[in-house]
Amino acid sequence: MKRILIMLLSFLICFPMVKADDLKLAEKAKSAILVEASTGKILFEKNADEKLHPASMTKMMSMLLIIEAIENGVIKWDQIVTVSENASSMGGSQILLETGEKMSVRDLFKGVAIASGNDAVVALAETVAGSVNNFVSMMNNRAKELGLTNTNFKNPHGLDDANHYSSSRDMMLIARELVKHEEVLKYTKIYEDYLRENTDRKIWLVNTNRLVRFYDGVDGLKTGYTEDAGYCMTATASKDGMRVIAVVMGEETSKIRNQEVSEMLDYAFAQYKVINVLKNKNSLGKYRVENGKEEYVQVIPIGDTNLVKKKSEKDGNYSYDIKVNSLKAPLKVGDKVGTLTVKEDENNIMTLKLTVNKDVEKANFIDLFLRNVKDMVIGNMSLN
């Protein structure tokens, strides 16, 4: 027995057990971060707040503003854009736009999402905001709204500028907002496509993010490279109901960048899982609205009711407490009307704000009169 113990101790000294938390990730990156997208839980980070050049990862913010403009009706997917001289003169990665050329918003967006076209993103920026300067102001305002603290944009494409910078954490926060728009992922996951397919100026688009093809589950988001920035990437992948986002900045080569991002994704999917403790958002019940055009409304949580846990951890027993304020019309989706507290084995682990699932207008005199008549009729029928 003593010999066995001595041999075992010798083995552990020579080959110590490696815990998942001790894994070395993104060792060659200047900065990196890995998160679960729905909760924002950080699984790994390294110099995540260091200000660095983001290169073409900048286009994530541009794509966010463009998709929001489309969803808000400011521009349309099939709208035809006439390319300006400013857009066609852009250097770096491009889709070879010519001054005066006409192309749809959809095809220009493909040029940004797949081929990282600087000319395409400038053409869209001018379409959304009227000018590049106006668009850059929108980018910085949106950055403030998202709570980015180490970001300043000087252009929509990411070509180096001394005062154009961001951080891994801020890039991740943009990515978390961007993946909420599933339409974007339809384009960022395309590995190859064509523009001007039936013309003599046909161009083959190949995704700058090779992981879209070579890593199962990756469907975005954006690569980047300049001499000052080095090789950068924000990648997102979804498996088994969990979406993760990995960011690396300042890598030495594209090969190292792809390898280190792949290792970060491997780690996330091997070690973690997502548990949704409230599968049906509409299961919290209906509540009466005082003076509402509609008498009852459902309340729902603001945000996901997901938990991220190590796969090695045992699941607990989950329950929740609901506190809803007195509801009085008018109400709008997003208004805070109460709180949802989630418990695991009687321990509070999450508190979310509650809102209504639809807008409720204030009832007028006729609405209230008809409701009272209806209540009286129903009451009399019950007595009979």
Cα 42 from Cα 49, distance rounded (Å) = 13
Q: Is the pLDDT of residue 382 over 90?
A: no
Q: Write down the pTM of the prediction.
A: 0.85
Domain identity same for 257 and 289: no
Select the more confidently predicted residue: 346 or 175: 175
> What's residue 6's pLDDT?
38
Q: Examine the residue annotation and report whether 116 is marked as an active-site residue of this protein.
A: yes
Residues 6+ away with beta carbon under 8 Å from 66: 75, 105, 109, 112, 124, 125, 128
64 falls within a domain: yes
18 falls within a domain: no
Select the more confidently predicted residue: 92 or 374: 92
For the chain, percent of residues with pLDDT exceeding 70:
88
Domain identity same for 47 and 193: yes
How many other C-beta atoms are found inside a 10 Å radius of the C-beta of residue 312? Answer: 9
Task: Count structural domains, the chain.
Answer: 2
Q: Which range (10-24, 147-161, 246-260) has the least confidence? A: 10-24
290 falls within a domain: yes
Categorize the per-residue pLDDT at 208 as very low, low, confident or very high, splitting at 50, 70 and 90. very high
304 falls within a domain: yes
Active-site hit among 30, 46, 59, 110: 59
> What's residue 285's pLDDT?
86
Active-site hit among 31, 116, 166, 168: 116
300 falls within a domain: yes
Domain identity same for 237 and 91: yes
Q: Is the pLDDT of residue 257 over 90?
A: yes
Domain identity same for 261 and 288: no
Which of 272, 297, 316 represents a domain boundary (last residue)? 272
Domain identity same for 159 and 180: yes
> What's residue 130's pLDDT?
97
Domain identity same for 298 and 258: no
Which of 272, 307, 338 represents a domain boundary (last residue)? 272
Which of 246, 272, 298 represents a domain boundary (last residue)? 272
Q: Provide the domain limits for residue 312.
A: 281-377
Active-site hit among 56, 84, 93, 166: 56
Categorize the per-residue pLDDT at 165 as very low, low, confident or very high, splitting at 50, 70 and 90. very high
> What's residue 209's pLDDT?
97
Residues 6+ away with beta carbon under 8 Å from 360: 289, 292, 293, 294, 297, 327, 329, 330, 331
Domain identity same for 341 and 234: no
8 falls within a domain: no
Domain identity same for 248 and 345: no
Q: Examine the residue annotation and report whether 56 is marked as an active-site residue of this protein.
A: yes
> What's residue 4's pLDDT?
41
